[in-house]
Amino acid sequence: MLSINYYLILSAVLFTIGVVGVLTRRNAILIFMCIELMLNSVNLTLVAFSAYLGNVEGQVLVFFVMAVAAAEAAVGLAIVLALFRNHVTVNLDEINILKW
Amino acid sequence: MELTDIIFYIFALVTIGSAMIVVFSRNLVYSAFSLMFTFLGVAGLYVLLLADFLAVTQLMIYVGGILVLMIFGVMLTHRVVNVEISSGAMRVIPATIVVGVFLGTLLLVLTRTKWMVMEGSPDVIGTTSMIGTALVTDYLLPFEVSGVVLLVAIVAAAFMARKR
């Protein structure tokens, strides 16, 4: 079996790719996808530790992360839809109604 | 090199490569489809880590649920006349600096730390019953609370997305 470092480095790289997307892209839906990427990398870390420690509790935690991710995706996309209905754009740099 | 190593590298390559396409593709639909391959790659890694039930759950929730929701979002938030479904980039230079420092710190910590791991390979065959037992004994309250969270989220999403 591979050393756990391989999985940890893989999820670090995956998380970093998600961070790049959140910081540089301006489409709200793409930012959601990048958040899902980051959640997936964290899940991968949890499962890797769960496997290498022989303890199933990390996988139980992954279930709760998935439940929260599903809730977050549903509510977030509803917000984006409402925003699109009001402003006809989902580019985050054009949405500045809270700024004065 | 063992067979599991080769499988790990294949899945890692699929995951990282398609994640790069998600972030750097100019077309949102390509990003959404590429995200599917990222989820599939992560599910394969779960199987490699002997988390069979989680791999199936990953397929059902992420590929079957969240990804379809994302594609609906892409379809609903672009004018039909607007053929070009693209998404620009901004703040590239500060982001590069921040991300470089972040990744460097993560890799430094990961490789310097001596992780306490089990000796030998785990002999778990099927995690479903163990996860089920944990969910209805030690983790019963979080389990119920996450059900309530999902219910509230569904009601809120339907309320916010409807036409009035």
Q: Does B32 touch chain A (CB under 8 A)?
A: yes
Tell me the pLDDT of chain B (164 aa) as tens digits: 788 899 999 999 999 999 999 998 888 889 999 999 999 999 999 999 888 899 999 999 999 889 998 888 888 877 655 555 556 667 788 888 999 999 999 999 988 988 887 776 666 677 888 889 999 999 999 999 999 999 999 999 999 888 76
- Is residue A46 less than 8 Å (CB to CB) from chain B? no
pTM: 0.90
Task: Convert the pLDDT of each residue in A13-40 to its tens digit.
Answer: 999 999 999 998 888 889 999 999 999 9
CA angle B106, B108, B110 (to 5 degrees): 65
Q: What is the DSSP string of B19-46?
A: HHHHHH-SBHHHHHHHHHHHHHHHHHHH
Q: What is the DSSP string of A18-56?
A: HHHHHHHB-BHHHHHHHHHHHHHHHHHHHHHHHHHHT-T
Q: Which CATH class is domain A4-87?
A: mainly alpha
Q: How far apart are CA A33 and CA A63, in angstroms?
A: 19
Q: Where are the domains of chain A?
A: 4-87
Residue type, B86: S
Size of interface A-B (CB pairs under 8 A): 222
Q: How far is A96 from chain B (nearest CA, A)?
A: 16
